[in-house]
Structure 1
Amino acid sequence: MFRRALAWGALLAALGLALAARYGLGTPISEELARQYDLRPVVLPDGRGLPPGEGRVEEGQRIYAQKCASCHGENGEGYPFNRLVSEPFPITPDTEPVEYAIGNYWPYATTLFDYIRRAMPFGQGGTLTDEEVYHLVAFLLYMNGIVDAGTPVNQKTLPQIRMPARELLELDPEAKRRFPWLTLP
């Protein structure tokens, strides 16, 4: 019985290794393949990974009307998909937003850039240029009352933007317990 189980285990392990080799598991990805899949670095909360470029509110409004309004509403009100513009109200730890949106929920402007670049427009994630994403972020931050209309959004300014919900972000209690050295940026 033990020999039979051992034989099956060895067979499955060998099959797994053969399949891993066949599909290149464990092999570093080549530059060419990375370009083919358009793999971009993750943008971290502190701004590491942000590409060069700059966005302005006016251009962001134009791009939003073309590529975003059909899902998120003409003014970000959220029809048929999620709301992007929040109702203005004071945000405190005790506040329960009626609907989560960028202005009352998103903790970092930099990760908003990363999310839009990777996931939007719906079903076509990764098709926006970095410039288009900067323009959209500028427009959405403006619509949420976070930046002025003339504020340029770029690699340098985006990490400096303080989101209203930033102070409400907390580490999960389990993460605190397991990784006591971990802090939020």
Structure 2
Amino acid sequence: MYSSRKIGLLLVAVVLAAACARASAAEPGHFGYGSVATPAQIAGWDIDARGEDGTGLPPGKGTVDRGADVYAEQCAACHGTFGEGEGRFPKLVGGVGSLRDERPEPTVGSYWPFAPTLWDYINRAMPMPAPHTLSSDDVYALTAYILSLNDLVPAEFVADRNSLPKVKMRNRDNFIWTDPRPDTTAKPCMNACVNAADVRIASTAEGRNLTPRTTGPLDTMQPK
């Protein structure tokens, strides 16, 4: 028979085992590397601005004149003095009415649907050699200047979190946001979709040293 001491120890062991099992189920696995992202680190990556309504745009503002100065220093070498593009670098202006042509020119003025998306792209990816080096005000200024180059805003336009979503882009109404087409036109089949007698193996990888001849430890998985 068990003594009271042995029974007590057994109960303690059962309780500890249950607690460990519960902790294992509740806590995510850890592989011995990395660390939990801090709020500051998450904030550093959570910088997107939504195109349709500008959600996520930060405080700040920028004028067309200031944007011209920043553009000349940071952007013109690749995108051209007036956004015409240097070499194979993308054009930022022009192409209006060309989207149905054999060689369309999808620029900010001809293709982009939302002005806040321009701010978002510049902020996260430009200038190409050194992204994330521009202040929010300079990104607003560049956005205002590029919109002005495309005759989408007047010269006195001031870009900020309130004014950018109100800019009407030329191609805004030509996007299909909900595609009505089905994913596939094939008739779905979930059971007995093919007659097994009709299946023929046309070729295999056997003898071509493409796959191991057996499964198991790596030292036995050698081609013939």
Indicate the TM-score class for this superposition, using the shorter chain for normalisation: 0.7 to 0.9
Three-state SS of the structure 2 residue aligned to 1:22 is: coil
- Rg (Cα) greater in structure: 2
Match of 1:58 among 52, 65, 79: 65
2:202 matched residue in structure 1: none
Summarize the alignment of residues 102-181 of structure 1 with structure 2, pairs less than 5 Å apart: 102-171=108-177, 173=179
Instruction: Name structure 2 gaps, 5 residues minimum.
Output: 1-28, 184-224
Render the CA deviation track for 1:15-70: whole Å, top value 9, x for unaligned: xx543x5223xx4x2134346xx324210021110001111110100000000000
Q: Quote how far apart the aligned CAs of 1:123 are.
A: 2.5
Distance in 1 of aligned mates of 2:168 and 2:101: 18
Alignment of 1:63-82 (within 5 A): 63-80=70-87, 81-82=89-90
**TM-score when normalising by structure 1:** 0.74
Distance 2:131 2:182 in 1: 35
Cα distance change, pair 39–121 in 1 and its aligned pair in 2 (3 A): same
**Distance in 1 separating the partners of 2:112 and 2:85:** 16
Q: Identify the residue that residue 48 of structure 1 maps to in structure 2.
A: 55
Paired with 1:113 and 1:97, the residues of 2 have a C-alpha distance of 27
List runs of 5+ in structure 1 lacking aligned partners. 1-16, 179-185
Select which of 10, 28, 34 maps to 1:23.
34
- The structural deviation recorded for 1:120 is 0.2
1:170: Cα distance to partner? 1.5
Q: CA RMSD in A?
A: 2.5
Amino acid at match of 1:75: F
The answer to whether the Cα contact below 8 Å between 1:42 and 1:49 also exists between their aligned partners in 2 is: yes
Query: Counterpart of 1:173 in 2: which secondary structure?
Result: coil
Relative to structure 1, the CA distance from residue 94 to residue 141 in structure 2 (aligned partners, 3 Å threshold; closer, same or farther) is: same
Which secondary structure state, in structure 1, belongs to the residue aligned with residue 92 of structure 2? coil
Aligned partners of 2:38 and 2:30: how far apart in 1?
21
Deviation at 1:131, TM superposition (A): 0.3
- Report the structure, 1 or 2, having the larger helix content: 1
